[in-house]
Homo-oligomer: A and B are copies of this chain.
Amino acid sequence: MTGGVDGARDVPTGAPARIDTPSPGDRRLTRLSLNQRTVAHWSLREAVTGCVDAGINAIGVWREPVAEAGLPTAARMLNDAGLRVSSLCRGGFFTAADPTALHKARRDNLMALDEAAELGCDTLVLVPGGLPDRDRDLTGARERVAEAVGGLVPAARERGVRLGLEPMHPIFAADRGVISTLRQALDIAECFPAAEVGVVVDTFHVWWDPDVIAQIARAGDRVVSYQVSEWITPLPPDALLNRGMPGDGHIDFGVLTEAVAATGYQGDIEVEIFNEAVWAAPGADVLATITRRYAELVAPHLCTADPD
């Protein structure tokens, strides 16, 4: 992949690239991580190879493709490729009201913690879960999330894995994530040591929040993952697949990235995009666009020195 200004095109817009594609080794890419869901149609092996080819040094993996590869195989594959595993997606779904479902969720979260440990990944992303069927008690569901996180802390501590509670855009409050703001997530996280429970800052979920900058500052060393994706309009018809390529929408990545950097966050920064048009594009083109957009919109705002 040569310089974007020499003919590369961005996906999914098809517009000419605005900057040259960074080459592997480019220091602007040091902390970039590919969230595997961005290339949903790739196997884990394809994603690993794609990262190495594009000069991406870290990957956020999902449990399902890891299971498809087989856990020990996946761990070896990631290790052999020299990729850091920035997060495992995902545990959580804590909001069931009936005891059997709650017990099943707990068992599933313990398995996720085991998998994270086996993969050498120190962060498990927790999706809160939505309202149970025909249940309108949002307050009750939120309380169950707080309780379930607490119940998971000892097992996470034993395995050396941090729990990252992810507040989700209010568009998902009914069916996916009843924790809607960083403030709420921090109210829960702060019941536990910062080394054990933190929060995931995902630009798509939090960009609209009038309180976002203050809450990122409050989070401090509880930011366990920083994920970037874009709010685009018009919203694609499927509410679950409405994230865009950074730069194609309305989010000011500079302001949010500087706020996260100011907390001292030194971890990887995942690009996580759920979008049919991105999924339909060739994976290598997706990764090339990501490295360009990240180098243009995110990397310059990481005020803290990169490790290299």
Q: Which residues of A contact B (CB under 8 A)?
A: 131, 136-138, 142, 169-171, 173-175, 180-181, 183-184, 207-210, 231, 233-235, 237-239, 249-252
CB-CB under 8 A for A252 and B138, given A208-B180, A239-B235: yes
Q: How far is the CA of A174 from the CA of B184 in the complex (A)?
A: 23
B251 touches A136 (CB 8 A): yes
Min CB–CB distance A119 → chain B (angstroms): 33
A174 touches B249 (CB 8 A): yes
- Give every chain B residue within 8 A of A181 (Cβ-Cβ): 210
Among A131, A175, A238, A239, residue most surrounded by chain B Cβ atoms (within 10 Å): A239
Q: How far is the CA of A239 from the CA of B235 in the complex (A)?
A: 7
- Give every chain B residue within 8 A of A239 (Cβ-Cβ): 234-235
How many copies of this chain does one complex carry? 2
- Give every chain B residue within 8 A of A207 (Cβ-Cβ): 138, 173
- Give every chain B residue within 8 A of A136 (Cβ-Cβ): 250-252
Q: How far is the CA of A210 from the CA of B173 in the complex (A)?
A: 10
List of 5 A-B pairs having minimum Cβ-Cβ separation, nearest first:
A237-B237, A173-B208, A170-B208, A136-B252, A174-B250
Min CB–CB distance A74 → chain B (angstroms): 32
A250 touches B208 (CB 8 A): no
Min CB–CB distance A285 → chain B (angstroms): 24
A-B contact sample (20 more), CB < 8 A, given A137-B252, A171-B171, A175-B233:
A136-B250, A136-B251, A138-B207, A138-B250, A169-B170, A170-B170, A170-B171, A170-B209, A171-B235, A173-B231, A174-B208, A174-B231, A174-B249, A174-B250, A175-B234, A180-B208, A180-B209, A180-B210, A235-B239, A237-B237
